[in-house]
Structure 1
Amino acid sequence: MATPGRRSSTFTLLLRHGFTDPSAAGRLLESPELSAVRGDPLLLEALAATADPDLALRGLTRLLEAQPDRTHRSRLLDTLLSAKPLRDRLLGVLGASEALGDHLARHPDDWRALVTYEPRDLHQGVPEFEEGLAEAHDPVALRVAYRRCLLSIAARDVCGTIDVAETAGELADLATATLRAALAMAEAAAPEDAALCRLAVIAMGKCGGHELNYVSDVDVIFVAEPARDADERAALQAATRLASHLMRICSETTVEGSIWPVDANLRPEGRNGPLVRTLASHVAYYQRWAKTWEFQALLKARPVAGDRELGDAYVAALEPMVWQAAERDNFVADVQQMRRRVVAGIPAAELERELKLGPGGLRDVEFAVQLLQLVHGRADTSLRSGTTLDALKALATGGYVGREDAAALDAAYRFLRETEHRIQLYRLRRTHLMPEDENDLRRLGRSLGLRSEPVTALRKEWRKHSSVVRRLHEKLFYRPLLNAVAQLAPGEARLRPDAARERLVALGYADPAAALRHLEALSAGVSRKASIQRTLLPVLLGWFADSADPDAGLLNFRKVSDALGATPWYLRLLRDEGAAAENLARVLSAGRLAPDLLLRAPEAVALLGDGGEGERGGRGVAGGLEPRSRERLEQEILAAVSRAGTAEQGVYVARGVRRRELFRTAAADIVGSYGTETQPAEADPGALVDRVGGAVSDLTAATLAGTLRAVVRERWGDELPTRFAVIGMGRFGGHELGYGSDADVLFVHEPREGVDEAEAAKAANAVVAEMRRLLQLPSTDPPLIVDTDLRPEGRTGPLVRTLASYAAYYRRWSLAWESHALLRAEPVAGDAELGRRFTELVDPLRYPAGGLEEDAVREVRRLKARMESERLPRGADPTLHTKLGRGGLTDVEWTVQLVQLRHAARIPQLRTTRTREALAAAREAELIGADDAAVLDEAWVLATRVRNAVMLVRGRAGDTFPTDVREMAAVGRYLGYGPGRAGDMIDDYRRTTRRARTVVERLFYDSEV
C-alpha cells in the first residue's frame, strides 16, 4: 500500500504533468495492468504531452485490460516504452479521441496499425487505404477496417507528422477507398445489375475538394450509362439499385456503428430527382434548369469510384458550364445572397459558436475563394482547383488576392479546420460548434498546441482568426470589381492582345492602335504587376468607354500606372478597395482637370479607396473622397508652414495641399455625378453643388491662412505689428467657389496698442503685397487669383484699410452696389476677432433698418440692367451664358439679394452669405412663392453645375458650353445625359433658365417684394 507521503508526492507529480484528476490517475497507475511501468518517466512524459492526460491514461488502461492475456499485455507495454513513435502516436490518439479509444478497447490488436513508421506511412493515399480495406468483405468488417485506417490518420495528425491540409486530403482519400470498397460489395451482391450498367460515383463537397473532415456527410452524384447492348431503362434501374446499396453499406448503423452518411442531395432536382441519371440527362439539366449554387457546387466534382472513363466524361462535359456560370444574370448577387441565407438559417443560440457556417467561419473563406474562382477562373485555368487552400494560393499567385490577405486567410482557415477536426475527433461526431464545457475547451486548446492557459489562449486565437476571416470575407466577397468582371463577355475576363483590338473598336475607342500600345505596355510580361493589370484592364476599358473620351481615360491610366508602377499599394488598392478602380476610371476619363491634378501628385489615387480622412460625405462618395473641414485643412497647412524654412517653401507646401484637396473634391464630384456599380449617381444635384462650393471655399480660406502665416513668420516672427484679417466676398464669402473661381477679398487691419499707425499701415500693405506675390509665383498647380476689386473705391482705392477707415468710408461714401456686395462679406482668414468686428460694422449697410429705400431699389435695378447690357461678352449667346445670360447665376443671385436688402433687418434667417440658404429663407418667410423659389433654385444649381463641368472637362474656366463635340459630350455625361444627347441637354438648359428669367423679371423688376 502506498504511504500518505508517497500519495502526496504522486498527486503533485500528476498535477504537474497536466492531469486534472490526479486521484483517479493515481489509482489507475496502481492497477495491475500498469504495475510494471507505473513509475516510468517515459510514460508520464508521453501522457503529459497529450491533449488530455486523464483520457489518455484511461484509454491505455482499457486497451491493456482488453488484451487477451498477460503475454499480449507485456508485449504492448514493452513496445510502447521502447518505441517513441508508437508511444507518441498511441497515447496522442488516446488523449484526443474517446471514440478511437473505444475502438481500440473493442479491437485490442489494432494498436499494431500504429507501429509501422515508414516513408509511405507519412502520407498515405488511396492505394494504401484500399490495401487497408481489402480484407473487408461485409459492412461490419468494412467499418472496423475503416476505423483502423482512421486511427493511423489521427495518429499522424495529433503528432504533427501531417498538417491539417494533408489530414483532410488523407480523409478524402480514405473516403474514396471506402466508396470503392462499398461499390465492390454492392456489385458482388448483385452481379446481374453490375453487368447491365456502367456506374460512376462523383464526389462533391469536401470529399470532391480533397479536404474532408473526420466526420462529415460524403456528398456524391451518380451517373450511369447502359452496358453494351443493355436497355437504358433497365440499366438505370440496375444502377439505382447499386447506388442505393452503396449508400446503405456506408450509412447504416451496425454493431460497429456507421461510417458516414452518403448524401446524394446535390444531384439535379435534389431529393425529388432520380438518384441516377445518364450523362446526357445530367448535361440537359445543367444546360436548362440548374441554379447558380449548383454550378458553384460542381467546382469540387471529382470522379472517385466506379467507371473512371464515365466519371471523366461527366467532369469534361460539365466543366465548361461551371466556368460560364459567372456570365449568368445576377450571378455575383446570387452567390452573395446564398451566403447570407446560410447565416440567417443558423439558430441564434449557436451563431457565436459556429466554426463552419457562422460569420468569420470556414464558409466565409470557402465562399469568398469560390466566388473569386468562378469569376476569374473563366480565363485563368490555374484557378480551377477544388481544394480551398490550393485555390487560395493560385489566387494570390495570379494577383487576384493580395499576398498578405491570402496568407492571413490561409492561416485562419488552417486554424479553423484544425479546430473543427479536433472537436470531431473526440467522439467522432459530426459537429462544427465550439464546445462550452471548460474541460472540453482545455483538451481542445492543448490538442492545438496551446499548453499555457489553454482555454484563454484558445478563445483568443479563435477571436483573432475569426475576425480576420470576417474582415477579409467582406473585403473579397463583396468586392465591386467582381460584378464588373463577371459581366464581361466570354474571353474578355483576362486581357489578351489578340482579342483586345476588336473589343476596343466595339467599345468606341477612336484610336485603337494607340490604345493597344498602352495595353501592351501595361500588361506585358510575367510580373505580378502585369498579372494584376491583365485582370483590371478588361473592366477598366468598359468603364473608360462609358465616357465621352475613352482614349484619354486609358492614356491617363497608363500615365498614372507608370508613375506608380513601383508602388506596391497602387494596384492592390484598385483590386481590393471597394470602388477604387471604378472611381479611378471615372475620374481619368471625365476631362482634363482631375487627371492633371492627379498626374502632378499620383499618390493621391489613394483617396479613391474606401478609407480616408474626410468628414462630410454623401451618397456616391467613397470614404477617401469626403471633403475635409476648414479647421482640419487649416491645421494641416499651418503646421506645414511652421516647419518650412522660408515663406516661399511654406506657400509651396500649402499649394501642394490645395492641389491634393482640389483633386479630392473634383473626384468626389465626378463619382457623385456619374455614379458607380455600387453607388448610384447623387440624386440631389444641389447637394453636389453645395459640396463642391463648400469644399473649394474652405480650401481657399485655409490656403490664404497658410500664406498669411508664412509671410508674417518670415518678416515679423510670431506677431504682426497690426491685427490683420481677410474678408471673403462674392462667391468666396458665399461658400460657392467653383474650381476656376477667383477669390474676391477685402483686407482689413488695426494697429496693435502702442504701434504707430503709419508703421502698422506699412506692415499691412507689405503683407498684402507679399501674399499676392507668393500666390502668383509660377507653378504647375492651379492658380489662386486674389481679386480685390470689391474694395472701397474699387481699383483706385488702397488695398488694405484700417477698420476705422472702412467705418469712415461706409458712413460717408457708401454706394448701393457696395451694400449689395457686402451681403457676401464673411471673415475667412487672419484675426478672427477683427473679422467679427468688420461684419458688425457692415451689418447695418447690408441689412438696412427699415428696409431698402426706393431710390436704392431703383439703383440696384439700374446696375443690374447696365451689367446685362455691357458685360455679356460680344458674340455670346445670352440663352447659354451661365453667369450673365438669361435666367443664369446673376439673375437668380441679384433677385435673392434684393430680397435680403429689403427684409433681412427684420427676418434674421435672411442674414446669410449663401444664395440657396437665402432663397430657402425667403420661401419660408413667404417673400417668394414655393414654385418660384423652386424654379430659381433649379436654374442656379444647373448653371453652377455647367460651370463646374466646363472646368472639369476643359481644365480651364468658362461660362458657356464648349463648342468641341467631344467636350460637349463630356459635359453632358457629367450632367447625366448619355451619348448623342447633347441637343437634349441644351434644350433642357434653355427651358430651365427661360422659366427662371420669367420669375426674375416679375420678382426683381416688377415686384414690391
Structure 2
Amino acid sequence: MTVPGRRSSVFTRLLRHGFTDPSAAERLLDLPEMTPVRGAPVLLDALGDTADPDLALRGLVRLVEAQQLDERRGLLDTLLTAKPLRDRLLGVLGASEALGDHLARHPRDWQALLAYEAADLHPGVAEFEHWLAEAEDPVTLRIAYRRCLLAIAARDVCGTIDVAETAAELADLATATLRAALAIARSAAPEDAAQCRLAVIAMGKCGGRELNYVSDVDVIFVAEPMGGPGGNGDGDNETRALRAATRLASHLMRICSETTVEGSIWPVDANLRPEGRNGPLVRTLSSHLAYYQRWAKTWEFQALLKARPVAGDLTLGESYIEALAPLVWQAAERENFVADVQKMRRRVVDNIPAAEIDRELKLGPGGLRDVEFAVQLLQLVHGRSDATLHSGTTLDALRALAAGGYVGRADAAQLDEAYRFLRAMEHRIQLHRLRRTHLVPEGEADLRRLGRSLGLRTEPVTELNREWRRHASAVRRLHEKLFYRPLLDAVAQLAPGETGLSPKAAQQRLEALGYADPGAALRHLEALTSGMTRAAAIQRTLLPVLLGWFADSADPDAGLLGFRKVSEALGKTPWYLRLLRDEGAAAENLARVLSAGRLAPDLLLRAPEAVAILGDPQGLAPRSREHLEQEVLAAVGRADAAEAAAAAARGVRRRELFRTAAADLIASYGVDQSPAAERDTSAALAGHDRIDHGALVDQVGGAVTDLNAATLSGALRAAVRTQWGDTLPTRFAVIGMGRFGGCELGYGSDADLLFVHEPRDGVDEQVAARAARAVVAEMRRLLQLPTTDPPLLIDADLRPEGKSGPLVRTLRSYEAYYRRWSLVWESQALLRAQPMAGDAELGSRFIGLIDPLRYPAEGLGEDAVREIRRLKARMETERLPRGADPTLHAKLGRGGLTDVEWTVQLLQMQHGWAEPGLRTTRTREALAAAHAAGLIGTDEAGILDEAWVLATRVRNGVMLVRGRPGDTFPSDSRELAAVSRYLGYGPGHVGDMLDDYRRITRRARAVVDELFYGAAL
C-alpha cells in the first residue's frame, strides 16, 4: 500500500528522470513483482539514463513477470548490485521494444548480458559461431541470433562500441549466421554436401562489414565440383555439383528468410548475381568470370567493391575475389564508364515518394547513399593505380582516400563525422522495432526517444533535427566538393609539402567524369584559377559546381572550353562573375548552354554580354514580334549605310536566337533526368514525358518565326532607304510560306517567301515593277552578306512558275495566274501563306485573294485528291537522300514531318470551307481542329501530334548540337549522345532514343496510310 505523501514524491522523481507518463510508471513500480526494487535510487537513475524510461520500465516489468519465482529474485538482486548489467539491460529495454519482446518470450536470455570481460567487448566471427553452435533448426537459430543481437545492442547503447564497430559486429554475426545456416542445410542433405564445394560471397553492407540492425544480406554463390573445376573433365559431374549447390544455397536462404514462430532472421538476397533474378542462383567460378568479362555493367563492378567470402569453402571464395579483382579495378577504363557513372549518380533519389524524400536517411539528398557513392566512385577512379584504396568499408576507404591526397583531410573528417551520425540515427531507428526502415519518424515521442538515444538530452527533438540537418547539409555540400575541389588544388601553386591530387590522378578523375581531353581541361582550370586576383578567387568558388554541371552533359570538354572563352572575353567586366556568383540560376544555365552543343555557345561567344540574359528571371522569355520589329527598325534607322543597317539587324537576331536556344536547352536539360521506369536492373529511360515538348516546340517555332519576320522588316527598311528614302514608289508586302508562314521555323530553316507589290497612285507600273525588283534584290544582298552568324536564307521557289517566274508580282498578276494556271500543289502550298513584313493592308488583301484556293468550296474533287497522293508518293521515292535510313529521316522519312503535314493539309483542303478551325497555317492547331470537328479520332490525332513534335525536336536538336541543320540523327557518337540528352534521355540511352523514334514514327505512318492513302476523305 502506498504511504500517504509518497506518491507525489515518487511522481516528482519520475518526472525529473525523464518519464513522460509518471502516473503509469508509478503504478508499474507498485506492482508486487517490483517490490524489491521499488524505491531503489540506482534503478530510477538507470531508467532515467535510457532513451525512453517509460519503455524501459515496461520492458523490465514484463521481463520480471516472465521469470520463474526462484529466478526473479536473482535478476532483481543482480540488477541492483551490478551496474554493468543494469546499464546494459535497461539501455536495451529503453531503446528497443522488439528486444524487450524477445526477453519476455525468452526470460533467461538476459544472462547473455552478464559478461563484462575485456574479451567480450569486441567479439568476432569465431565467438558468434560459438554462441550459435547449438542451433539445430531455423527456430533455435533465430533465438540464438536474437540473443547475440541483444548483446551487440547492449554494447551499442551503452557506448562500449561506436557505430562503425557496431556495424562490423552485426556483419560478423551475419557471417556466423550464414555459416550456421549452411551447416544446417548440409546436415539435412549430406549427399549434396558431398558433391560440391560451395562458397558464399557477402556483398553490400555485409560484405563491407558495415551492416545495419535490420537489412537484407546480399550474397553471391559460387560452386565447383568436389575435387576441382570440371570434375576431371566430366561435364555431367559439374552439372550435378551445380544442382547440389543450388539446393544447398536455396535451403540456406530459406533458413534465414522464412518466417517461423520466432519470426525470420533476415532475407538473404542473391539478386546481385550475374543476370539478377533471371540468372542461375549458383555458378562456377569460370562462369562468373566469363559473365563479368563479357556482359557485366559498371554498377556490377561497383557492387563487387564490397565482395567478401564469408561462408562455405573459403578457399574457393578467395579464388573468386582474386579472379574478379582485376576487372573491378579496370572498370573505370570501360568504354561506357562515363555514361554508367552519370546514370548511377542519378539513381540516388530514384523512386522515393515525394512525401518521404525529406525523411529519407539513406537515399535522400545528403543521405548515406551520397557518401557511399562518392567514396566508391573515387575508389574506382583512383584504385586502378593505388591498392591502398581497395577496401569494402566506407569509412576505411574514406580514410585511405584522405591519406592518399584524393580527398582533403578536413573534408574527409567532416564527411566521416556526418556518416557516423547518420548511421547512428539509422541504427537506433531500426533497433526500436527491428524493422527495416530508413525513414526518420514523425511522431514527437519517437523523435524524443531517438534524440535521447544519441545522447541529446536537453531538448532532444530540437537538437536532433538541428544535428540531422547540419550533417545532411554537409554531405550535400561535400558530395560536390569531393569530386571537383581537389581538381582545383591540383592546378594551384601548392606550397612545398602540401598534398593533393597528382597530375595523373587529376587526369584520371576528369576522364572518369567524362572529359575526353583531361590534359586540356586541367590547362583550362589553371588559366581560370591561377593568380591572386579577385576574379581567380571567384572562379575557384564557382568551378567546383560548374565542373559537376559540365560533367552531367554529353560534352564536358566543350562546356569547360566555352566557359573559359566567355570568362576571358568578359573577365574585366565587373558584373559578369558577380552575376554567376550571386545568381545561382545564371551559373547553372550558363553551364547547361555551353555544354549542350555548338549553336548556342557560338552565338554567345560572338556577343558574350548576352550572358546577362541567363541571370534575369524573365530573360529567357521570348520577345513579341512587335517588340522585336521596333528594336530592329530603330537599329536600322540609326545606321549610316545599308550594310551597317543589315549588321545591326543581324546583331538583334543573333542575341534573340541565343535567347531562344538557351531557353530551349535549359527547359530540355533542366528537367529531372532521373529514370522514369526501370527497363532492367541498371538502366532506365530518363524523364521522357516530364515536360510539354509540344509547347516547347511551339515556343521555339514562334520565337524564331517572329525574329525572322522582324529581321526581314529591317532588311526591307534598309533596302528602301538605299535608294528611295522612306517611301517606295510601290506598296510592298512579304508573304511567309512553308514553315515560316506556319510559325514553325527551326533554328536552321530557310525562309520561304512570296513578294507582292501594288503601284501607288500615279506611279507608272514599269517604274513600280523596277522598284519592287530592286528592293527584292537588295534585301537578298543584305541578308546574304558574309557573316559568322546562322544565315537567314530566302527561298522564293514557291512563287508562281517557280524558278522560271518573276521574283515579285503585283496583286493583280497573282490573281490572274491563280485563276488560270494554278495547280493543286500550289493551292496546298498556300495553306501556310501569312503576311510577315511590309504593307499590312496589301498582305491582308493577298490572303483574301488566296483563301478560296486553299479552302475550296465543297472541298477537293477525287482527281485533286489523287493528284496530291501521287505527288506525295513521288516525293517519297525521289527526294529522300540516297543512303538515308527512311526510319530515321525526320523530314521525309516514315512517319516524319512530311507524312503528318500532308495528311493534315489534305484535311484542311477538304473541310476548311466548312470548319473555320481548320483555317490556320499551323500544323498542330489544324490537327487539333480536325479532331475537334470529328474528322480524326483521339488516338490517331495523338499519334500524329507526338510524331510531328518529336521529328521537329530532332531537327532542332541536330542544329543545336552540330551548329548546322540536318534531318537525320548525327553519326558522331558524342553528337548523337547530345541529341539524346536534348530529347530527354539519360546518359547511355541513345539506343532507347532511336528505338522510341522508330516506334513513334512507325505508329504515325500507320495512321497516315489509313487517313491519307486509304479512306476517302
Which TM-score bucket, shorter chain as reference? 0.5 to 0.7
1:872-917 deviation line (CA, Å, top 9, x unaligned):
xxxxxxxxxxxxxxxxxxx99998996998589xxxxxxxxxxxxx
Map 1:795-874 onto structure 2 (within 5 A).
none
Alpha-carbon distance between aligned partners in 2 of 1:370 and 1:609, rounded to the nearest angstrom: 35
Q: 2:301 aligns with which of 290, 295, 303?
A: 295
Residues 1:422 and 2:421 are matched in the alignment: no
Cα deviations by residue, 1:26-66 (Å, 9 ceiling, x for unpaired): 11111222212211211111100101101111111222222
Aligned ranges 1:36-75 → 2 under 5 Å: 36-70=36-70, 72-75=71-74
Aligned equivalents of 1:392 and 1:460: distance in 2? 25
Superimposed CA distance per residue, residues 456-504 of structure 1 (whole angstroms, 9 cap, x where no aligned partner): 3333333333344344446668x6999xx9xxxxxxxx99xxxxxxxxx
Does structure 2 retain, via aligned residues, the 8 Å contact 1:608–1:622?
Answer: no
Alignment correspondent of 2:145: 146
Conserved 8 A contact 1:52-1:95:
yes
Structure 1 residues 280 and 325: CA distance shift in structure 2, 3 A: same
In 2: Cα distance, 1:545 partner to 1:87 partner: 62
Counterpart residue number, 2:242: 236
- Contact in 2 for aligned 1:402/1:572 (Cα 8 Å): no
The 3 A distance-change label for structure 1 pair 409 and 4 is same
The aligned amino acid for 1:252 is E
Please give the per-residue CA displacement for 1:418-438, whole angstroms capped at 9, x wherever unaligned. 112111111112222222333
- The residue that corresponds to 2:798 in the other structure is none
Query: Residues 478-877 of structure 1 correspond to what in structure 2 (within 5 A)?
Result: 527-531=498-502, 534-536=505-507, 539=510, 563=531, 577-578=546-547, 611-613=580-582, 621-622=590-591, 675-676=594-595, 679-683=596-600, 685-692=602-609
Rg (Cα) greater in structure:
1
Q: How does 1:146-545 map to 2 (within 5 A)?
A: 146-228=145-227, 230=231, 231-338=237-344, 340=346, 343-473=349-479, 527-531=498-502, 534-536=505-507, 539=510
Amino acid across the alignment from 2:215: S
What amino acid is the match of 2:51?
Answer: A
Distance across 1 between alignment mates of 2:354 and 2:561: 48
Once residues 976 and 286 of structure 1 are traced to their aligned partners in structure 2, the CA distance between those partners, rounded to angstroms, is: 40
Q: CA deviation at 1:441?
A: 2.1
- Between the aligned partners of 2:164 and 2:265, the Cα distance in structure 1 is 21
Distance 1:88-1:225 versus aligned 2 partners, 3 A rule = same
Distance 1:546 1:536, change over 3 A: closer
Structure 2: 5+ residue runs without aligned partners? 232-236, 613-633, 649-714, 729-750, 758-771, 792-961, 965-1017
Cα pair 1:588 1:595 within 8 Å, conserved: no
- Structure 2 contact 604–610 (Cα < 8 Å) conserved: no
In the TM superposition, residue 569 of structure 1 has moved relative to its aligned partner by 9.7
Summarize the Cα distance change of 1:146–1:543 in structure 2 as closer, same or farther, 3 Å threshold.
closer
CA distance in 2, matches of 1:615, 1:63: 58
1:224 is paired with a residue whose SS is strand
Q: Deviations over 1:399-451 (max 9, x none)?
A: 44444543443333222221121111111122222223332222122112222
1:621 counterpart SS class: helix
Q: CA deviation at 1:523?
A: 10
How far residue 342 of structure 1 moved from its aligned partner, in angstroms, is 6.5
Whole-Å separation in 2 of the counterparts to 1:250 and 1:205: 17
Structure 2 contact 716–775 (Cα < 8 Å) conserved: no
2:18 is matched with which residue? 18
Q: CA separation of 1:184/1:571 partners in 2, compared to 1, >3 Å: closer, same or farther? A: farther
Gaps of 5+ in 1: 486-493, 496-518, 624-671, 696-733, 737-815, 825-890, 905-919, 946-974, 978-1009
Task: Specify the alignment match of 1:132 in structure 2.
Answer: 131
- 2-side partners of 1:311 and 1:112: how far apart? 36
Kindly provide the amino acid, as one letter, of the partner of residue 690 in structure 1.
Answer: A
Give the TM-score of the pair, scaled to structure 2: 0.56
- Contact 1:179-1:305 within 8 A present in 2 as well: yes
Residue identity matched to 2:90: L
Counterpart residue identity of residue 134, structure 1: A
Give the equivalent residue in structure 2 for 1:830.
Answer: none
The superposition leaves residues 659-709 of structure 1 with CA deviations (integer Å, 9 ceiling, x where unpaired) of: xxxxxxxxxxxxx8xx54xx43342744443335999xxxxxxxxxxxxxx
Deviations 1:557-576 (A, max 9, x none): 77888857999998887666
Q: Partners of 1:458 and 1:189 in 2: how far apart?
A: 49
Kept after mapping to 1: 8 A contact 2:338/2:513: no
Equivalent in the alignment of 1:115: 114
SS at match of 1:222: strand
Residues of 1 paired with 2:210 and 2:480: CA distance? 24
Deviation at 1:319, TM superposition (A): 1.9
The CA distance in 1 between the partners of 2:249 and 2:579, in whole Å, is 52
TM-score, scaled relative to structure 1: 0.56
**Change in 2 beyond 3 A, CA 1:266/1:48:** same
Q: Which residue is 1:882 aligned to?
A: none
1:382-415: per-residue Cα shift (whole Å, max 9, x none)?
A: 3332222222333344444444543443333222
State how far apart, in whole Å, the 2-side matches of 1:585 and 1:15 are. Answer: 64
Q: CA deviation at 1:95?
A: 0.4
Residue 358 of structure 1: how far off its partner (Å): 3.1
Quick check: 405-414 or 172-181, which moved more? 405-414
1:213 Cα offset (Å): 0.7
Question: In structure 2, the residue corresponding to 1:36 is in which secondary structure?
Answer: helix
Confirm or deny: 8 A CA contact 1:279 1:314 kept in the other structure: yes
Distance 1:620 1:614, change over 3 A: closer
Q: Who is 1:789 aligned against?
A: none
Task: After superposing the two structures, state which structure 1 stretch, 215-224 or 330-339, moved more.
Answer: 330-339
Provide the aligned C-alpha RMSD in A.
Answer: 5.2
The answer on 1:99 being equivalent to 2:98 is yes
Is the 2:382–2:509 Cα contact (8 Å) retained in structure 1? no
The letter of the residue matching 1:188 is S
Q: Distance in 1 between matches of 2:301 and 2:512?
A: 28
Distance 1:395 1:569 in 2: 27
Q: Give distance in 2, aligned partners of 1:376 and 1:932.
A: 63
Structure 1 counterpart of 2:34: 34
Counterpart amino acid of 2:319? A
Deviation at 1:541, TM superposition (A): 14
SS of structure 1 residue aligned to 2:120: helix
Following the alignment from structure 1 to structure 2, what is the Cα–Cα distance between the partners of residues 120 and 307? 28
- Structure 1 residues 444, 327: closer, same or farther in 2, change over 3 A? same
Q: What secondary structure, in the 3-state scheme, does the structure 2 residue paired with 1:305 have?
A: strand
Q: In structure 2, do the counterparts of structure 1 residues 348 and 569 end up closer, same or farther at CA, with 3 Å as the change threshold?
A: closer
Q: Is the 8 A contact 1:536 1:575 kept in 2?
A: no
Change (3 A) 1:421 1:588: closer
1:571-623 Cα offsets, whole Å, 9 max, x none, are: 8876665269999988999999999999x99x99x988995257995997359
Residues 707-731 of structure 1, C-alpha deviations (whole Å, 9 max, x = no match) = xxxxxxxxxxxxxxxxxxxxxxxxx
Cα deviation, residue 943, structure 1: 8.9
CA distance in 2, matches of 1:930, 1:617: 42
- Aligned amino acid, residue 578 of structure 1: L
**Structure 2 counterpart of 1:28, which letter?**
L
Classify the secondary structure of the residue corresponding to 2:788: helix
Deviations 1:732-772 (A, max 9, x none): xx999xxxxxxxxxxxxxxxxxxxxxxxxxxxxxxxxxxxx
Amino acid at match of 2:102: H
Please tell me the residue identity of whatever aligns with 2:397. A
Secondary structure in structure 2 of the residue aligned to 1:612:
helix
Distance across 2 between alignment mates of 1:132 and 1:596 = 69
3-state DSSP class of the match of 1:413?
helix
SS at match of 1:434: coil
**One-letter amino acid of the structure 2 residue matched with residue 165 of structure 1:** A
How far does residue 14 in structure 1 lie from its aligned partner after superposition? 0.9
- Give the aligned residue type for 2:398: L
